[in-house]
Amino acid sequence: MKTSAFFTAIILAFCLTATTATAQQAESAAMLKKFQSTPIKGVKGEGIIPIFEAFNKKWETGAGNSILLKHRNPAKFNATNIPDNGPVIDVIIDQPNGYVSADNGGGDGDYIEACIWKRTNGHRLFAVHYGEPVDPEIDLVCFYDYNPATKTLTPEKSEVNAFKPFFKESADNYHSYSLPQKGKDLIVEETYYGWHDPDNTLIEPSLHHIYTFDGMNLHYSATKVACYDKLTEAFSEHAIMTDEDAEMTRLALIDVDNDDTPEIWLSDAKGENASVYCVSEGKAALIGEKNFKYSFSFFKDVVLTAGGCGTGCYYTSYSHLKNSNVDYVLNCIATYPIQEDGEVGEEYEYTQNEKELTRKEGEDIVKSFGKAIEITPVWHPLTK
């Protein structure tokens, strides 16, 4: 998506109504089935305008009409597209790059974008991203093969249509699509409202799932975390054993505190180095790390990092989460000094948010965490 207003439309589509994610998916699937129910014949050219014109003639939309009106009669389009008539329609027509879009300006009208890729067999891959931000809410992407010999658009399935969200969807967690105006990558954007920075008026995507064009079709290649720089900063500032040279190549989303906002688990290819972060209101915090000396495990609402801190010394750090924020950190340094009689002693130093606790106070908090739980990550390739 190319404008903040375009993204506002999607925010309205998914955040400002009571329609469930399941209902949204059903409506989108029904519209997708309609769009791909029949070939479209009689296309008058292989550029974006004639291909899009044929699509809009078959499946007419208000946003599509705005694109064609601006193309055919810019003066008339400008005369009617004024604030007094309602939300301003932002239309982009980029014929050299094979891209068009129309955004409803954050109103309750529909929005659309479309683009073409040149295939190695001389055909064109044509994609349409379409949405309606009011009940029934719709957001979909559909694909066609354009054959210049037969002047026909034939519906086809894409790997993009098989996309499964990395995290459970709700009114606050949703996905949409962004077609390329420049470049060849299609992006599936996954957004988690809990990660949103309240100082930013625009709700930005949390993950960018990249689908790369290979000359014929689009294929998933990797995922980019929008706040990756914040994760790197949090790691550099707070890691116990900093190893910034470890290359994180995969990610998983988990929900340690069951608040419907995901935590991020990054790992290298072999799982020898890893880190876990919570993200809330635009801020990231390191809550677990694994390397040659430390490892982490999970309890309800808690991530434990533990490992040796020298001869006869063991370190544990419990990060307790509440609403994807670090509620408090309980640290313990246990040392086992050799006594004068040759026996091994025990000394425990507990702190909670740097406040000293007695051993009993610390151990009572640890007991309240209960038993460790198993979280099995679903790994996905990561790109920076």
If one counts every other C-beta atom within 10 angstroms of the C-beta of residue 4, the result is 15
Dihedral pair phi/psi, residue 126, rounded to 5°: -115, 130
- Please state the pTM of the whole predicted model: 0.87
pLDDT in tens, 327-343: 999 999 999 877 767 67
- What the block records as the tokens of 206 is 């949390």
Count: domains in the chain: 2
Peptide bond into 381 cis (omega under 30): no
Domain check: are 275 and 177 in the same one?
no
Instruction: Report the distance separating Cα 256 and Cα 101, nearest Å.
Output: 40
Domain check: are 203 and 337 in the same one?
no
Domain boundaries, position 243: 228-368
C-alpha 79 chain-centroid distance: 38
Instruction: Report the distance separating Cα 177 and Cα 160, nearest Å.
Output: 9
Residue 184 in contact with residue 99, Cβ under 8 Å?
A: no
pLDDT at 2: 47
> What does 299-347 look like in DSSP terms, one character per residue?
ETTEEEEEEE-STTEEEEEEEEEETTEEEEEEEEEEE-PBPTTS-B--E
Domain check: are 177 and 280 in the same one?
no
Instruction: Report the distance separating Cα 30 and Cα 181, nearest Å.
Output: 27
Residue 114 in domain: yes
Domain check: are 169 and 211 in the same one?
yes
Domain check: are 260 and 339 in the same one?
yes
Instruction: Report the distance separating Cα 273 and Cα 266, nearest Å.
Output: 9
pLDDT in tens, 125-172: 999 999 988 776 889 999 999 999 999 999 999 999 999 999 998 888
pLDDT in tens, 243-263: 556 789 999 999 999 999 999
If one counts every other C-beta atom within 10 angstroms of the C-beta of residue 240, the result is 14
294-323 residues labelled b (16+ CB within 10 A) or e (exposed): bebebbebbbbbbbebeeeeebbbbbbbee
Domain check: are 331 and 237 in the same one?
yes
Residue 375 in domain: no
Residue 338 in domain: yes
Q: Is the pLDDT assigned to residue 238 strictly greater than 90?
A: no
Residue 212 in contact with residue 221, Cβ under 8 Å?
A: yes
Domain check: are 62 and 154 in the same one?
yes
- Tracing tokens 């009011």 back to the chain, one arrives at 134
Domain check: are 30 and 138 in the same one?
yes
Residue 352 in domain: yes
Domain check: are 199 and 323 in the same one?
no
Domain check: are 128 and 239 in the same one?
no
pLDDT in tens, 24-72: 778 888 888 899 899 999 999 999 999 999 999 999 999 999 999 999 9
Domain check: are 23 and 166 in the same one?
yes
pLDDT at 28: 86
pLDDT at 93: 97
Domain check: are 197 and 304 in the same one?
no
* Bridge-based pairing state of the strands 294-299 and 302-308: antiparallel
Q: Which of 225, 257, 280 is the last residue of a domain?
A: 225
